[in-house]
Chain A
Amino acid sequence: MVDSIVSAASVIAAAIAVGFAGLGPGIGQGNAAGQAVEGIARQPEAEGKIRGTLLLSLAFMESLTIYGLVVALSLLFANPFAG
């Protein structure tokens, strides 16, 4: 009984972890991409440099989502609380 409650709570917690971890970086990445497009439109010759910086910073933001994913994966596959 306790075990099934723990697994149900872990699945819900994993879903919440990934969901909220995706929220902030999603907003941030949208902001960054929008600003980059603006920059390219204003100065098309700087496109290469802007793209490089954008990709690097997008990957940094994505790593925040990945932290949430790691928490979710450890809840699903290596749960420290299940039995």
Chain B
Amino acid sequence: MYTFLLSKIEVGSHLYLNITEGLHLHLETVIVSTLVVFAVSLFLILGTSNLQRVPGGLQNIVEVVFEFVKSIAVTQMGPSYYGQFLPFIATIFLFVLGSNWAGALIPWKLIELPEGELSAPTNDINTTAMLAILASLGYFFAGFKIKGIGYFKRYIKPAAFLLPINIVEDFTKPLSLNFRLFGNVVADELTVAVICSLVPFIVPVPIMMLGLFASSIQALIFATLAANAIGEVIE
């Protein structure tokens, strides 16, 4: 109804794959996120096969990424526990970064779909909700693993009357993670689409660069918050 305002971009229209009645797949999200998973895995496998004492080429980049993710994990979780949860944080960080950049860097508009359009997987609220739920399951798991049943002491930590607030926090944390990532990615794409519909020449390029920068910051934030939630639980 309002799509004429935004020229090409369509919010909330998807290419559905109906598996059964009431079970649908958003096909464009599935395609792009699978591509992202393969691309990230390929990058890591190529970068870490044939390790050299003096790094060169791709190994350099992989080492920079590793150091970066490790610094996030160490600052949030402390030097004694970070090792167990580093793979989890690194997976979240690389997937979010890969999907944000996949939406911004690859000209998906060239591929026509019957409905919806190929774009960043994080453009779909289901992907970000999955990531947020994964992050909260991650800190539950970390709490039970490190503290055992004493994990529940956390809920009455500063004082017993804060119990309801602590319980509500378990729900608002994934919700805010979800909306933060989804909103930022959609906002970037909407801004680019609106500018493109006004001036489809050169002018959108700085906005696209800004979007690229903002989406990498969002990946950093998501990973930092997931690590921070774990760190809070196991401290």
Contact = CB atoms under 8 A, between A and B. Distances in A.
A76 interface: yes
A33 interface: no
Interface string B1-29: 11000000001100000000000000000
A20 interface: no
A67 B182 CA distance: 10
Interface residues of B, number: 18
A77 B183 contact: no
A59 B186 CA distance: 15
B11 A66 contact: no
A70 B224 contact: no
B218 to A, nearest CB: 7
B221 A69 contact: no
Interface in A1-52: 7
Contacts of B183: 63, 66-67, 69-70, 73
Contacts of A63: 176, 179-180, 183-184, 221
Nearest to A78: B12
Count chain B CB atoms within 10 A of each CB in A60, A66, A69, A78 and give the residue with the most.
Answer: A66
B97 interface: no
**Majority SS of interface residues in chain B?**
helix
Given A63-B176, A63-B180, A76-B2, A69 B217 contact: no
A50 B218 CA distance: 18
Contacts of B182: 70
A66 B180 contact: yes
Contacts of A66: 179-180, 183-184, 187
A78 B13 CA distance: 10
B126 to A, nearest CB: 13
A78 B186 CA distance: 14
A70 B221 contact: no
Nearest to B1: A7
B220 interface: yes
A48 B187 CA distance: 28
A77 B11 contact: yes
Interface in A49-64: 55-56, 59-60, 62-63
Contacts of B217: 55-56, 59
A70 B2 contact: no
Nearest first, the 5 A-B pairs at minimum CB distance are A66-B183, A63-B180, A77-B11, A70-B183, A77-B12
Interface of B: 1-2, 11-12, 176, 179-180, 182-184, 186-187, 214, 217-218, 220-221, 224
Given A56-B217, A63-B221, A70-B182, 9 more contacts: A59-B217, A63-B180, A63-B184, A66-B184, A67-B179, A69-B186, A69-B187, A73-B183, A76-B11
9 contacts: A55-B217, A56-B224, A59-B217, A63-B221, A67-B179, A70-B179, A77-B11, A77-B12, A78-B12
